[in-house]
Amino acid sequence: MGSLPFYLRCDLLKADRRLRQILHCLGFSCIGGAIFLQVLVFSDIALQGYFLAVEQNQLILSLEVVLTFFALIYFLYVYQRFIRTLK
Instruction: Print pLDDT tens along the chain (87 aa).
Output: 556 566 555 666 677 778 888 888 888 888 888 888 888 888 888 888 887 877 788 888 888 888 888 888 888 888 888 888 876
Quote the number of domains for the chain. 1
> What is residue 79's predicted lDDT score, i.e. its pLDDT?
85
The answer to whether residue 42 is domain-embedded is yes
The answer to whether residue 1 is domain-embedded is no
51: Cβ–Cβ under 8 A, 6 or more apart, which residues?
41, 44, 45
86 phi/psi in degrees, rounded to 5: -80, -15
Q: Which domain holds residue 55?
A: 6-85
> What is residue 49's predicted lDDT score, i.e. its pLDDT?
86
> What is residue 8's predicted lDDT score, i.e. its pLDDT?
54
> What is residue 5's predicted lDDT score, i.e. its pLDDT?
64
Nearest to 13 by CA among 27, 28, 1: 1
> What is residue 11's predicted lDDT score, i.e. its pLDDT?
61
Single pTM value for the model? 0.59
The answer to whether residue 32 is domain-embedded is yes
> What is residue 43's predicted lDDT score, i.e. its pLDDT?
85
